[in-house]
Amino acid sequence: MSDLLGKKRGRELRDARPAWREEPRTVTRVAKATAMVLAVAMVLVPLWLVIATSLAPGQQIVDNGGWAFWPDTWTFGAYDTVLSNQVTTRALFVSLGVAVLGTFLSLTCTVLLAYALARPGVVGGKPVMLLILFTFLFPPGIIPTYLVVHGLGMIDTYWALFVPVLVNVFNLVVVRGFFQGIPEELYEAARLDGAGELRTLFTIVLPLSKAVIAVVGLFYAVGYWNDFFRGVMFLNDTSMYPLQTVLRGYVTQGEGLGSEFSAEGSLAQAPQAIKMAVVVIATIPILCVYPFIQRYFTKGVLTGAIKS
């Protein structure tokens, strides 16, 4: 009986609010719920307008002034026009290639550098870390970046789309902090077993770092996928443009799909549907990847940030 009373008392103590936290009032709860609903609506309503406009017939879009909240008839004509265009499909494959290769190279360089800087006693580790943090506080401008890329002969090459930003300082600090949080006993056990640094990294450190690597990989992938500025800055050949650069040119200037683009029927009078279709196509890959990474998101970022 005493054991049951003790367990009950323990649960009450765990569930009890601290003295400095008052019981939330009804008005507070309603205000929080209202704020949450408004925040969700501010995200979902514009997203739905984009999707609905891309699926609406052209005449409805024209009648509504360039948008549609609910299509009278659902049509995929805008998507067919966009995906049948060679400029858009080529730009889509360019973006996929840059995102995949850039993310792989960035993760490789970030993990190797973070591991080296996380180990104590590395020769020159502290000066290198200070130099890296200096570039984070004082990033280079556009003109110096362009001059460096031009001097390396990477203008009008795909290398210019990811080499200048191969390692992100924030991601490096997060991964380094995560590596520093791994118990030192594991490193010592690996050394006693005769493992070198690379073997320790691949057999012990990386399997324990899936969360932070998944999150940092998502950061890199989203950054490469959404980037349009480097395409404008470093590429003179429009046939090499990634999807986001094509999207920017078409949405902001009504250009970008090239002379090969032609819409038939009502879509010819409503280019807004095609613009929205391009936006949806450019957003889908990230929406497909994010649910698989989301469960690692909070754990990976917070652990790396706190340990650093």
pLDDT digits (tens), the chain, 308 positions: 555 555 555 565 555 555 556 666 788 788 888 999 999 999 889 888 888 888 888 778 777 777 788 888 888 878 887 777 777 788 888 888 999 999 999 999 999 998 888 888 777 778 888 888 888 888 888 888 889 888 888 888 889 888 888 888 888 888 888 888 888 888 888 888 787 888 888 888 888 888 888 888 888 988 898 888 888 888 888 888 888 888 777 766 655 444 444 444 444 546 777 778 888 887 887 777 777 766 666 554 555 444 44
On whether both 6 and 136 belong to a single domain, the answer is: no
Residue 62 belongs to some domain of the structure: no
Residue 60 belongs to some domain of the structure: no
Q: Residue 61 CB: number of other CB atoms within 10 A? A: 25
Residue 181 belongs to some domain of the structure: yes
* CA 140, 142, 144, 148 torsion-angle sign: positive
On whether both 99 and 191 belong to a single domain, the answer is: yes
Q: Do residues 304 and 114 touch, judged by C-beta distance below 8 A?
A: no
Residues in the chain: 308
Residue 63 belongs to some domain of the structure: no
On whether both 48 and 86 belong to a single domain, the answer is: no
On whether both 136 and 6 belong to a single domain, the answer is: no
On whether both 186 and 282 belong to a single domain, the answer is: yes
Residue 66 belongs to some domain of the structure: no
Domain count, the chain: 2
Q: Residue 106 CB: number of other CB atoms within 10 A? A: 25
On whether both 45 and 184 belong to a single domain, the answer is: no
- Give the pTM: 0.73
Residue 64 belongs to some domain of the structure: no
Give the ranges where the chain is alpha helix by DSSP (H): 2-15, 26-55, 58-63, 77-83, 86-118, 125-137, 142-151, 169-180, 184-192, 197-200, 206-208, 210-226, 229-234, 243-253, 271-307
On whether both 138 and 36 belong to a single domain, the answer is: no
Q: Do residues 86 and 260 touch, judged by C-beta distance below 8 A?
A: yes
- Which CATH number do you get for residue 265? 1.10.3720.10
Q: Do residues 111 and 176 touch, judged by C-beta distance below 8 A?
A: no
On whether both 268 and 143 belong to a single domain, the answer is: yes
On whether both 160 and 229 belong to a single domain, the answer is: yes
Residue 72 belongs to some domain of the structure: no
On whether both 11 and 114 belong to a single domain, the answer is: no
On whether both 47 and 91 belong to a single domain, the answer is: no
On whether both 32 and 122 belong to a single domain, the answer is: no
Residue with structure tokens 């966009």?
A: 82
Residue 48 belongs to some domain of the structure: yes
Distance of alpha carbon 77 from alpha carbon 141, whole angstroms: 43
- The boundaries of the domain holding residue 17 are 2-55
Distance of alpha carbon 288 from alpha carbon 280, whole angstroms: 12
